[in-house]
Structure 1
Amino acid sequence: MDAQAINRELDAARYAGPVKDIVIPPCPQLLVQLQQELALADPDPHRVAAIAGSDVAMAAGLIRVANSSLYARKEPVASAAQAVAMLGVRPTATLLTSFLLRNSIRIDPTLIEHFWESSTRRSIAMAHIAGQMYGMDVEIAKTCGLFFHVGIPIMLQGVRGYSGTLVEAMARQDRTFIETENAAHRTDHAVVGAIVAKTWRLPTVIVLAVRLHHDFSVLEDDTVPIAVRNLVAIAAIADHLVAQHEAIEVQREWQRYGERCMAFLQIGPAEVEAWVDVLYHPFESVVVT
């Protein structure tokens, strides 16, 4: 599926298909302002700090992350401006996007606290793996990690019976998670998540990767941009690393497609095993703001 075909599919699902009755959170105005700043040739850190500081909870969350053990600073930061100066503009933007995403979904946070922790770990893992690959955009990978499964809480919030579908999807051995979702609701979290990413005007590469992240046939499809295929392969490895850390039994997707994803990225099992150790502390240091 090329970009145009996927865009047509998402529009059809959003406005005429099964997704039309699901409430998709609008892009927050603060994110619109942030995207406008990032679109400039030379984004102003002071402007990014001002956007972060315009919401007390968001600023506090940013400072909390900057002062976490993940960064091991000797002197704590005390303001959004200091946090931006320490983290950098684009990493700050990713953190703010994560905050705005979580706070845009109106669902009891205690029900999905672990979901956000796992999403944050996936984001960290994808950024780390992307950093080992030549020419890959680390912040794009990090943002993808946050959005890949965002369709799940959106569907929990707006689709009757989806909580039962989740339980069934995780238990079934005869079909995939996506197949179970589609059997029950005629759509799935990859489609819904891609619609969120598109609604929020995220880069096209993220929209496509979110839509295709469970479709491993794209690894051999030259019509799909290489950056998207890289993200699909990286996501599978990242999910495996998170599952290892959280002591979750080996996932069916990893058993079926893990070797293909590693081969596509030209890495071996030894590297993946080494990343389990490298990422232990960052995973343990996850702070959900």
Structure 2
Amino acid sequence: MTSEHYPPRADLEAAFQAVRRARVPQIPDVVLALREELTRPEPCVKVAADLIAQDPALTGQLLKMINSPLFAARTKISSVQQAITMIGIERLTNLVTASAIQRMLSANDGAARIVWESTMEQAQVAVAIAERVPEVSADTAYLFGMMQNVGSLIFADLLTDYGTVWALRNISAPDDLLRYERTALGIDHATVGFLLAGNWRLPEPVALAIYHHHSATAADLDDPETRALIAISKLSHYLIALSLGIHEQPEMLAYRDAAWQELSIRDEDWQALCEQAMQGGWTH
């Protein structure tokens, strides 16, 4: 990636100032330690399992997530060691990170609750899409889906009318939402999300996809996983718009077409996604 694919320093400074003003929870140490273990040439399975075991509540939430209809495990997974054996350390770490973020952020209320519930729906749609394309694993799509709007959760804490603006613009007119954010705070949620993704040591493709998930020039990015995540985000917007009957908006049609150009989706899988959208269900 070249420098133009990353936020300018001035934007990162503005994002930092916004984060300083809000109540931002700290990601658990176990997540940071797991991501540190992943950077080693040969990550140790026992070290990873022992780290997760230090947080029994997180372990329970992780196993509940893995065994949920959303991920449709072929065999019931009853331990962290079994999970590592079946899906590997990297994918398990993504799910641990997603579980920790969900625990951190799900207690929000007011405007933040509106943002959070919408974000969780988008994360579920992202998994449904990822299961039908070869470019991205379901765990990476879920982690990205949960994180792409984390900046909006910060803004919900800073702007009294943010929940209303989000509800009106997030799905059908995201460009309007970004303009509103920049006018009100001098920065947008995508840049704040990129900053937090870096602070929480998320994989670089996820961080970059967060920054570019509303970009019209994502095709210029070199990394195919980053491009695929952005396409999944745009397609999730379109499918949710379809479920609401507002998918004919020009912005949503552009999102659909951009995703089609990037992702390898078979016609029958596309039909299944559209039917699932119109039935309003993503977890079964």
TM-score (norm 2): 0.78
Give 1:59 shift: 1.0
Alpha-carbon distance in 2 for matches of 1:84, 1:138: 16
- Cα distance in 2, alignment partners of residues 152 and 216 from structure 1: 20
Matches within 5 A, 1:226-237: 226-227=223-224, 228-237=226-235
Do residues 11 (structure 1) and 8 (structure 2) align? Answer: no
Matched letter for residue 38 of structure 1: L
Do the aligned partners of residues 168 and 212 (structure 1) sit closer, same or farther apart at CA in structure 2, a change above 3 Å counting? same
* Alignment correspondent of 1:249: 245
The aligned runs of 1:158-177 (5 Å cut-off) are 158-170=158-170, 176-177=176-177
1:171/1:124 CA distance change after superposition, 3 Å: closer
Structure-2 residue corresponding to 1:284: 283
Contact 1:121 / 1:283 at 8 angstroms: preserved in 2? yes
The residue correspondences of 1:9-88 to structure 2 (distance < 5 A) are 9-15=10-16, 18-69=18-69, 70-73=72-75, 76-88=76-88
- Identity among equivalent positions (%) equals 22
CA deviations over 1:206-258 (Å, ceiling 9, x no partner): 22211111111332x3xx324333322232123334555xx323344322332
Assess if the C-alpha contact under 8 Å between 1:213 and 1:235 holds in 2.
yes
Deviations for 1:9-57, whole angstroms, at most 9, x for unmatched residues? 4432234x55542344444311111101212233223322222221121
The reply to whether residue 225 of structure 1 matches residue 246 of structure 2 is no
Does residue 108 of structure 2 align to residue 107 of structure 1?
yes
Q: 1:239 aligns with which of 237, 240, 246?
A: 237
Distance 1:164 1:241 in 2: 21
Decide which moves more: 45-54 or 167-176: 167-176
Whole-Å Cα distance in 1 between the matches of residues 9 and 139 of structure 2? 27
Q: Distance in 1 between matches of 2:229 and 2:77?
A: 33
Structure-to-structure mapping, 1:135-146, within 5 angstroms: 139-146=139-146
Q: Which runs of 5+ in 1 are unaligned?
A: none
Give the Cα–Cα distance (whole angstroms) in 1 for the partners of residues 47 and 274 of structure 2: 37
64-73 or 50-59: bigger deviation: 64-73
C-alpha displacement at 1:185, in angstroms?
Answer: 3.2
In the superposition, relative to structure 1, how do residues 174 and 45 fare at CA in structure 2: closer, same or farther (>3 Å)? closer
Q: Is the 8 A contact 1:124 1:142 kept in 2?
A: yes
CA distance in 1, matches of 2:256, 2:29: 39
Shift of residue 114, structure 1, vs aligned partner: 2.7
249-258 or 207-216, which moves further after superposition? 249-258
Matches of 1:165 and 1:191 in 2, distance apart? 18
TM-score for the superposition, normalised by structure 1:
0.77
> How many correspondences in the alignment?
274
State yes or no: 1:132 paired with 2:122. no
Distance in 2 (CA, whole Å) between partners of 1:103 and 1:243 is 27
Across the aligned residues of Structure 1 and Structure 2, the Cα RMSD in angstroms comes to 3.5
Counterpart of 2:108, as a letter, is: I
**How far apart are residue 282 of structure 1 and its match?**
9.1
Mapped contact 2:171–2:237 kept (Cα < 8 A)? no
